[in-house]
Amino acid sequence: MAVSASFRTFILDQLSRVASRVRARAMFGGVGIYAGDLFFALIADDTLYFKVDDTNRPDFEQRGMKPFQPYGEGSEGMKYYQVPVDLLDDPGALRPWAEKSIAVAAKKKVKR
C-alpha cells in the first residue's frame, strides 16, 4: 500500500481546497485523511478512496468505482470507494463528493 510523497502532497492540496482542516496520518503503509477529527478518506497505492454508506455508494458504483480491498482482489471490500480520477484535478467537481464522505464520517462518529 505504498503512497508516493508527490501523490500524498497533491491529494492533500486538492482536498484542502474543498474541505476545512484537512490533515493526513500514516497508517498501515497507507495514509488516513481527516477533516478535523473526521476520518473520511484514505490513500493506498497512490489511489484516493472516500468513505461511503448507502447515501453516496451509488455515486461511486454508477461511475464503475470499486471498494478498497486491503488484502487484494477478491478480498472483502471496506466502506471506502475509489474516487474517480477525473475529479482529482477539478476542485469544483471534487467538493460534493468530499462533502458527502465527510457527512458519512460524521454520522458514524455520532453513532459511537
Q: Look up residue 93 and give its three cell numbers.
A: 467537481
pLDDT per position as a tens digit, 24-77: 999 888 999 999 999 999 999 999 999 999 999 999 999 999 998 766 666 555
**Candidate ranges 9-18, 25-34, 77-86; pick with highest mean pLDDT:** 9-18
CATH of span 5-111 = 3.30.1460.30
pLDDT at 100 over 80: yes
How far apart, in whole angstroms, are the C-alpha atoms of residue 31 and residue 25? 6
DSSP state of 71: T
pLDDT of residue 2: 80
Task: Calculate the average pLDDT of the chain.
Answer: 90
Q: Beta-carbon neighbour count of residue 19 at 10 Å?
A: 21
Residue of 60, 68, 63, 55 whose CA lies nearest to 103: 55
Q: Could you state, in order of their start, the residue ranges of all structural domains in the chain?
A: 5-111
Question: What does pTM read for this prediction?
Answer: 0.91
Handedness of CA 107, 93, 48, 75 (dihedral sign): positive
